[in-house]
Structure 1
Amino acid sequence: MAWKRVVVEMGMGTSIRRQDYTMAAVRALRDALWRNSLMVARALDMDTDSMFVEVMIGVPKPEAVDTAKVLEVLPHGTGEVKVVQGGLEIPSEDGTGKTVIANAAAIVKLDLP
């Protein structure tokens, strides 16, 4: 048996006023996951908790993301979070703040022959 990629889901999340990189990342992962209802595990007669999800987050300040909070979003299975440079920061018009945009990819894998 070996882990095989079966689904890739993508999403985007924001922190409009608080400049909270973790919240933007959490919202991005929710956006990726909450648009779908994956039936692949059940179709293969596997438990949904047998899934492994590799989560990739792109934000301007990767070190500012609490990966444990992002991982808590997963409704099934286990996973890991990798945070990389990406996303956007949009300065406010008066220069006192910024909007943070994060991108997420959830790569769902199953242990298949």
Structure 2
Amino acid sequence: MSEQRIILEMGTGNDLYGEDYTKAACRAVQDALHHSSIVLFQSLGIDHRQMRVEVTIGVQTPEAVDVDAVTRELPRGRAEVTVVHGGLNVHDEANGQTHVIASAAIAAMLEIEHDDWQLCSPSSG
């Protein structure tokens, strides 16, 4: 049995006026989650707690992100959140503000026994 990625979703989030990296990161996670629906668990009777969820957040100031707050955004699986340098800060010199943009990649990982699964073409069955 080996762990395989069963889904990968990306999202972006921002905080336009508070320069809050955690808020932008949480919004990026929510954006990614709203792009997916994993019906596999209910359809096949698999407990979603078997899924490991790898979350990578990119922001310009990684140490400013509250990892626990981002982890709480994930409704299923066992979350592992990593924050790296990325995203984008947009400086508004005229107004003295910095707009924070975060990016998120969420990978759902599941132990799969390869002998239990077989891909087939639509015409074969």
State how far apart, in whole Å, the 2-side matches of 1:71 and 1:92 are: 30
Aligned-residue identity in percent: 43
Task: Identify the range of structure 1 (32-41 vs 76-85) with the bigger mean alpha-carbon deviation.
Answer: 32-41
Deviation >3 Å, runs of 4+: none
In 1, Cα distance between the equivalents of 2:68 and 2:46?
26
Aligned to 1:100: 100
Partners of 1:18 and 1:2 lie apart in 2 by: 43
Equivalent residue for 2:84?
Answer: 84
The one-character-per-residue Cα deviations of 1:74-107 (angstroms, maximum 9, x if unpaired) are 1111110111111100112425111000000000
Q: Distance in 2 between matches of 1:22 and 1:110?
A: 27
> After the TM superposition, which of the residue ranges 88-97 and 16-25 deviates more from structure 2?
88-97
> Whose Rg is larger?
2
Query: Counterpart amino acid of 2:62?
Result: P
Pair 1:73 & 2:73 matched:
yes
State whether residues 29 and 73 of structure 1, in contact with CA within 8 Å, keep that contact through their aligned partners in structure 2.
Answer: yes
The number of aligned residues is: 113
Aligned Cα RMSD in Å?
A: 1.2
TM (normalized to structure 1)? Answer: 0.93
Structure 1 stretches of 5 or more lacking a match?
A: none
Match of 1:63 in 2: 63
Distance 2:74 2:3 in 1: 18
Residue identity opposite 1:75 in structure 2: P
User: Any residues of structure 2 matched to 1:1-113 within 5 Å, and which?
Assistant: 1-113=1-113
Query: Any unmatched runs of 5+ in structure 2?
Result: 114-125
Q: 46-55 vs 11-20, which deviates more? A: 46-55
TM-score where L is the length of structure 2 = 0.85
Deviations 1:49-72 (A, max 9, x none): 221100000000111111110000
